[in-house]
Amino acid sequence: MSDAKTIADTLTTVWEGSWGSISPSPHSVETLRLCKLENGKEVELISYPYRSLTRWSLKCGQPERLEIEAAGESIVITGRGLKRLAEALDEGQLRCVREQNENDKAGDLLVLSIKRAKSSI
């Protein structure tokens, strides 16, 4: 395998996967997109301008919970390896988060569910 292919595969793993995508450049993303799945197919796409994100917090445990307040809504992402998503939010790099199929459990980062509700704040 060539060095270029190895580097490309590594970057794809770090910045993009079935869980979503992160921009490699800090403060380069203007919109956060959430993709909800049903039976393995995208059924809903929701986008939030970064300027509407008011706070986020990561709760460790099994599963982990990344809670985001945006545009009067509370968004809860559950899974594992979500610290990477929280760090990308801190740097304005998180571009897209996708729910994953039950079969797609390989890797360190797994998005089990994305739930939205009216914010209580």
Q: Token digits for 32?
A: 């956060």
What is the distance between the alpha carbons of residues 87 and 71, in angstroms, rounded to a whole number?
20
- 45: Cα separation from own chain's centroid: 13
Query: Which phi and psi angles does 64 have, rounded to 5°?
Result: -75, 155
Helix, strand, or coil (residue 111): strand
- Domains of the chain: which residue ranges? 3-118
What is the distance between the alpha carbons of residues 64 and 112, in angstroms, rounded to a whole number?
10
Global pTM?
0.84
The contacts of residue 88 (CB under 8 Å, 6+ apart) are 22, 23, 94
User: Residue 101's pLDDT is what?
Assistant: 76
In order along its 121 residues, the chain shows pLDDT tens digits of 444 444 344 344 468 888 999 999 999 999 999 999 888 788 999 999 999 999 999 999 999 999 999 999 999 999 999 999 999 999 999 999 999 976 776 678 999 999 999 977 6
Q: How far apart are the first and last CA of the chain?
A: 52
